[in-house]
Chain A
Amino acid sequence: MKKVHMLDVVVYVVLTISALLCLAPCINLLAMSVSGQTAIESGKVMFWPVDFTMQTFITLFKGTSILRSFKNSVIITVIGVCLNMAVTILAAYPLSRPYFWGRRTFSKLIVFTMLFGGGMIPTYTLVKQLGLIDTYAAIWLPGLISTYNMMVMRSFFENIPEDLSESARIDGCGEWRLLLKIILPLSKPVLAALTLFYGVAQWNTFMDVLLYINSAEKMNLAVFVQQMVQSQEALKQLQNVNPNEVIEVASEGIKSASTVVMVVPMLVVYPFIQKYFVKGIMLGAIKG
């Protein structure tokens, strides 16, 4: 019989525990969101629902504006990612061409913005002077390009064999056609990875909404959930909607349920695109 190595035991045990620790809070949250009020309040709920009920979700969808926030988050994410990707490509492609005039100067200036910036208040006054307060443009424009993501894309473009673009150019291909017909179709892995990174960032965007969006009807899911979790006000509002109806939901339950609404779209998409983001990170790692 093969001898079991001590190191293997340690490795498998430690990794199993780490994986369980990563899942435990998520499972606890799910269990909370579908458990009965008395079970939650008496502290019986651990990692399995007690007195299974969907009442919390029904109350959440009927009594609060969570659906509107959900819709806002979808709008912010879909349009935001399209803008992000378009402008990131427009930045990465010229910077990846060795003959691009001013390439080194532009690169240096752009890297400098990674190390130093104006910060929260000067950016806020700028957005205010541009008249973007309380519009989604204030969310989309200041974060149009993530410089790190742009660098990853640029190094991918640089690694596409020069011969391909050279022969296309001899055939009379212009820069735009070269980009659209040759470079982009060859860059699917990096495009997928960066779409995912931008998508997650837009879905989770929190501080910018807090800073620039004032009207409650434009709030995204992240700010909605945060208000649910941290302030009792939101829960009181919930009770004001139907004062005659006794709401039989635990506050912990409703907090968990709103968080679950924000997590679920991510969990659904995550397993399908996991292979792409690992590639995306690897590209960055090789460059760095």
Chain B
Amino acid sequence: MKQKSQQAIAVRAKNKHNFKRSIPLLIMFLPVILYYAIFKFEPMIGLIMAFQNFSLKKGFFGSEFVGLTNFQYIFETPIMLQVIKNTLVLGILNFVITFPFPILMALFINEVRTMWFKKTVQTIVYLPHFLSWVIVGSMCFTIFSQESGVVNNILKAITGETYPFLYKPVSWTAIFVGSSIWKETGFAAIIYLAALGGIDPTLYEAASLDGCSRVKQMIHVSIPCIAPTIIINLILKAGSIATVGFDQVYNLKTDPVMDVADVISTWVYRVGLQQMQFGISTAMGLFNSLLSLILVFTVNAIARKYDKSLW
């Protein structure tokens, strides 16, 4: 008993000491506290707009509270359900289809023994990550242009006809997912390459002594060793299913495909900021944030459940 209370006193003394010692650090940290309070936490308070018939003139305190009416409106209007569906369809397609590519690329780069080739390939495939969606969008419009694009030039030479790739829903969706693969595969491979670089070489030696071919070593040594990294990435990317990037859609969209291309972020921008319907667009945004939060926690919980059976 006595010892415990003495310990408590010691801890308290240490904390006090820490506080005194931390004063210069806290002064240094003050702009950071202000930044997070103002630009990160204040907007969370601003989410009460989702429950209001908000107008900028009246502000948070003057605007009338309407309960869940905004949410009710969202789930009863077909256009909005369509927007939510589009977001999930594009998000899931993007997530599922793009996910394996960086892993394959890392496994392949890892097999290369010629240093100059390895370095050159890495330099080139990392590059698209640094180009903004404005540029990638512009490239897509140039390449798939019906009159002068490369793809249609080739198509015309073979079949004699051209196809409006960016103006038909199915081919547009394919271009959307393809552009994600093109832009992010190389860069996302870096993290797997780091994991592959950390594998103990004796594992490969043992496998090779047991008569494993290089392909078998890849399957039975490389992949299981980077499995934890794959799972972490899976959890981190899960949230992105519900948040299809604004820049990507905005820079690839064309009018005829708006039925499949209008996602929550572009809808919120159009209705919230261009039509000034703050209440309902905030409600949509809040729904979106909650959805991605739930996705992250769900995937995390599933991963934890299978923790032991995976490795």
Contacts and interface: CB of A to CB of B under 8 A. Distances in A.
Interface of A: 5, 7-8, 11-12, 14-16, 18-19, 21-23, 25-26, 28-29, 32, 40-47, 87, 90-91, 93-94, 97, 99-102, 106, 109-110, 113, 115-126, 128, 141-142, 144-145, 174-176, 179, 200, 203-204, 206-207, 210-211, 222-223, 225-226, 229-230, 250, 252, 255-256, 258-259, 262-263, 266, 270-271, 274, 277-278, 281-282, 284-286, 288
A281 B38 CA distance: 29
A237 B225 CA distance: 58
B128 interface: yes
Given A122-B49, A226-B251, A128 B56 contact: yes
Given A87-B32, A121-B285, A174-B24, A225 B138 contact: yes
Interface in B276-308: 278, 281-282, 285-286, 288-289, 293, 296
A6 B271 CA distance: 56
Nearest to A169: B21
A252 B130 contact: no
B148 A87 contact: no
Contacts, number: 271
A44 B156 CA distance: 12
Contacts of A258: 138
A113 B39 CA distance: 10
Interface in B57-116: 105, 108-109, 111-112
A8 B25 contact: no
Interface residues of B, number: 92
A43 B24 contact: no
Contacts of A117: 40, 43-44, 289
Given A8-B111, A225-B138, A22 B43 contact: no
Interface in B11-47: 15, 18-19, 21-22, 24-26, 28-29, 31-33, 35-36, 38-47
B138 to A, nearest CB: 4
B247 A22 contact: no
A45 B148 contact: yes
Interface in B229-256: 229, 232, 239, 246-247, 250-251
A130 B46 CA distance: 14
A17 to B, nearest CB: 11
Interface of A, helix, strand, loop or mixed by DSSP: helix
Interface of B: 15, 18-19, 21-22, 24-26, 28-29, 31-33, 35-36, 38-47, 49, 56, 105, 108-109, 111-112, 117, 120-128, 130-135, 137-139, 141-143, 145, 147-150, 152-153, 156, 182, 185-186, 190-191, 194-195, 214-215, 229, 232, 239, 246-247, 250-251, 265, 268-269, 272-273, 278, 281-282, 285-286, 288-289, 293, 296
Contacts of A110: 36
A173 B251 CA distance: 52
Contacts of B112: 11-12, 15
A20 B251 CA distance: 24
Contacts of B127: 22, 26, 270
Given A90-B29, A176-B28, 9 more contacts: A22-B128, A32-B142, A94-B28, A100-B29, A101-B15, A110-B36, A122-B45, A145-B32, A206-B247
A122 B43 CA distance: 5
A51 B125 CA distance: 30
Nearest to B37: A109
Given A120-B268, A122-B46, A255-B142, A229 B134 contact: yes
Chain A CB within 10 Å, residue with most, of B190, B229, B278: B190
